[in-house]
Amino acid sequence: MAAMVVHEREPVHGVMAAIPARKHESMQGMVDRFAAGALASVFSRTTCAPLERIKLLSQTGSSRSGPLATLTAVVEREGWRGLWRGNVVNCQRVIPSQGVLLCCSDTYRELLRPLGWDTFALGSAAGALAGATAVMCTYPMDVARARISATFAGDVRAAASTNLLATLNTVAQRVRARVRLLGILARN
């Protein structure tokens, strides 16, 4: 019979030290959860993309008619594919967003557990913190998604909103120009 070797665990430092050892998850489990969340998110966003596009066009004032008239206008101007304008950027945004959300939720739950809150309060606080973390990490991509989806193809505003990088570059240039203007006004 082979002798059993017991390895001592290395001490864990920092934030992860607050999480009990039994709660540590394998990297494969984390990757599996990330992939499952990403796939489900991409599927749901792609399925609902036409409704999201109509909603954004109505909210931004690009379309002043009802949902059916907006749907007809998009199909007439851009074809059926126009209903999914901005969906690629939305999927690029939602994958890291859901990944961060899923990974942070359990971590925050374990960090807050010593406070002794009931299950509902603990879950609510952990979910809120995870959601805030995900939004902070993906906010620039959300701005780009809204700018791309909220314009009709061919509009002047849509010219700079062709893909994620071009849109983010345009936003950055406008922000820099406003900051320079504010600096000049502040000196006078």
Q: What is the pLDDT of residues 91-127, one digit of tens each?
A: 888 888 888 888 788 889 989 999 999 999 999 999 9
Residue 18 domain-assigned? Answer: no
Query: Higher confidence at residue 148 or residue 50?
Result: 50
Residue 15 domain-assigned? Answer: no
**Has residue 19 got a pLDDT over 80?**
no
CATH of the domain at 148: 1.50.40.10
**Has residue 159 got a pLDDT over 50?**
no
Query: Higher confidence at residue 134 or residue 35?
Result: 134
Average pLDDT of the chain to the nearest whole number = 77
- Cα 148 to Cα 141: distance, rounded to the nearest angstrom: 11
What pLDDT, on a 0 to 100 scale, did the predictor assign at position 185?
Answer: 62
At 188, the pLDDT band (50, 70, 90 cuts) reads: low
Residue 85 domain-assigned? Answer: yes
Residue 138 domain-assigned? Answer: yes
Residue 47 domain-assigned? Answer: yes
What pLDDT, on a 0 to 100 scale, did the predictor assign at position 128?
Answer: 95
Residue 13 domain-assigned? Answer: no
Residue 89 domain-assigned? Answer: yes
Residue 117 domain-assigned? Answer: yes
Range of the domain at 160: 27-187
Count: domains in the chain: 1
Q: Quick check: 127 and 105 in contact, CB under 8 A?
A: yes
- Cα 48 to Cα 51: distance, rounded to the nearest angstrom: 6
What pLDDT, on a 0 to 100 scale, did the predictor assign at position 125?
Answer: 95
Q: Quick check: 42 and 91 in contact, CB under 8 A?
A: yes
- Cα 150 to Cα 55: distance, rounded to the nearest angstrom: 9
What pLDDT, on a 0 to 100 scale, did the predictor assign at position 46?
Answer: 94
Residues ≥6 apart with Cβ < 8 Å to 44: none
What pLDDT, on a 0 to 100 scale, did the predictor assign at position 47?
Answer: 95
**Segment of 19-23, 62-66, 82-86, 112-116 carrying the highest mean pLDDT:** 112-116
What pLDDT, on a 0 to 100 scale, did the predictor assign at position 115?
Answer: 92
